[in-house]
Structure 1
Amino acid sequence: MDKNDAHSLSEPSYDQRLAMAKQYSHEGVIAGAKAAVIAGVVTAIPTIASARMLPWARANLNYTAQALIISIVAGAAYFIVADKTVLKSARRNSFH
């Protein structure tokens, strides 16, 4: 086994790295979507309930404001969880 063989065994090829990157990003998308759905539901219930029951919320939170609150929380959850998942996968499989 010469120097080139040892190097090829320890470092993945370009195609392998590309496949791993696609896999990590797919895992991130799936985890982010799950988090966005959960965060959207968890946010929607109290937002809509308070807009129906509380006098201040009834006067100040129209349908657009309610949708904006829910979508911001869901979007933030998606990006935070997707980013953390991709970084965790890359860190787990990186070479030190």
Structure 2
Amino acid sequence: MGIAMDAREWWTVRRQDMSMASMPSPPLNSNQHRAEQYSHDGVKAGAKAATITFIASAIPVLMGARAIPWARANLNYAAQAHIISLVSGAAYFVVADKTILASARKNSFEKLASHVEFPL
């Protein structure tokens, strides 16, 4: 009975922890909301770039693996998939990072312009 009681107590604590994790978070302030929006925009831009890069890299890799003798001998299906996924993943992270940084830079320049008056 000792093991069953311990297991029941463990599941009770775990269930309480899980219910606490699903509690609503406090409302976001404007900076947090803006940061969340910028990251969401970065994810969307990165996904678009990864999709385009996937298509643009899959066609030459797959055709090259069928037509070029060296590639036919040395690039199995796993290697072809690895090349395509690496290129797509790199495109995703580069574009997402650039989008987020561009949004943050634009936001910081807008704040600077609103706080500082430049003499004419």
**Shared fold per TM-score greater than 0.5:** yes
Match of 1:29 among 43, 52, 59: 43
Aligned to 1:50: 64
What is the CA RMSD across the aligned residues, in angstroms? 0.9
Scaled by the length of structure 2, the TM-score of the pair is 0.68
Structure 1: runs of 5+ lacking an equivalent: 1-13
Give per-residue Cα distances to partners, 1:35-94, cap 9 Å, x unaligned: 000011100000000001111000000000000000000000000000000000011011
Aligned to 1:88: 102
Structure 1 Cα separation of the partners of residues 93 and 71 of structure 2: 28
Scaled by the length of structure 1, the TM-score of the pair is 0.84
Structure 2: runs of 5+ lacking an equivalent: 1-27, 113-120
Equivalent position SS for 1:93: helix
Q: Which has the higher contact order (CA 8 A, sep 6+)?
A: 1
Instruction: Give the letter aligned to residue 63 of structure 1.
Output: Y
How many residues end up aligned between the 2 structures?
83
Aligned to 2:75: 61
Structure 2 Cα separation of the partners of residues 41 and 90 of structure 1: 30
Structure 1 Cα separation of the partners of residues 42 and 80 of structure 2: 27
Rg larger in structure: 2
Structure 1 Cα separation of the partners of residues 103 and 51 of structure 2: 22
